[in-house]
Amino acid sequence: MAVVTAPKQDRSRATRQRLLEAAVACLAEHGWAGSTVSVVAERAGVSRGAAQHHFPTREDLFTAAVEYVAEERSSALRALPVQSRAAVVEALVDLYTGPLFRAALHLWVAASNAPHEEQLRARVTELEARVGRETHRIAVELLGADESLPGVRETVQGLLDMARGLGLANLLTDDAARRGRVVAQWGRLLEEALG
């Protein structure tokens, strides 16, 4: 049996992955209003029926997609060799400037549109908390920060809030030059604060 089902499971997993990646790209490019299961299925080269088998609702597909890509980014960050704090700060800020951040931002903003999006809101609130905790954990680990010291936890949180704000500042224009200078300076402040 294993001989027969294994390739089938592999195909199913590959289809799922293609759908998740297409969903993030679609959300980043077209926003929530332009993102449906059908559009993503077509982009991924998957039949609409197969897409709906994997993700019965639009909310299922797009929250799973943002979570999947966030997990991929987290794994990549964790796999980095040990680096200087300055390099870690740069890598953390980079999390907020690519298509994943744009996709997540569209989802967050759509979910905030209560009362039109109650169902999406509940899902995204939970997802945000989960991804936020995980990102904080990774930041503490990579920065070698000792959270038993007073203020350290808030110092790291503020850094991630700044990174999120930098992502927003990069939404309409290429903010890379200014961002580089801000990140260098806040990297120095962080180095002093963490000791």
Specify the amino acid at residue 79: A
Binding status of residue 192 toward a second copy by CB under 8 A: yes
Binding status of residue 108 toward a second copy by CB under 8 A: yes
- Alpha-carbon gap, residue 142 to 87, rounded angstroms: 10
In the complex, the smallest distance separating the C-beta of residue 32 from a second copy, rounded to whole angstroms, is 9
- Alpha-carbon gap, residue 145 to 160, rounded angstroms: 14
Q: Which of 110, 131, 142, 143 binds a second copy (CB under 8 A)?
A: 110
- Alpha-carbon gap, residue 157 to 132, rounded angstroms: 10
Binding status of residue 165 toward a second copy by CB under 8 A: yes
- Alpha-carbon gap, residue 107 to 101, rounded angstroms: 10
Number of helices (H) and strands (E), helices first, in the chain? 9, 0
| Window 166 to 185, contacts with a second copy (CB under 8 A) | 166-169, 171-173, 178, 181-185
State the residues that interact with a second copy by CB under 8 A: 30-31, 33-34, 102, 105-106, 108-113, 116, 121, 124-125, 128-129, 132, 151, 154-155, 157-158, 160-169, 171-173, 178, 181-186, 188-189, 192-193
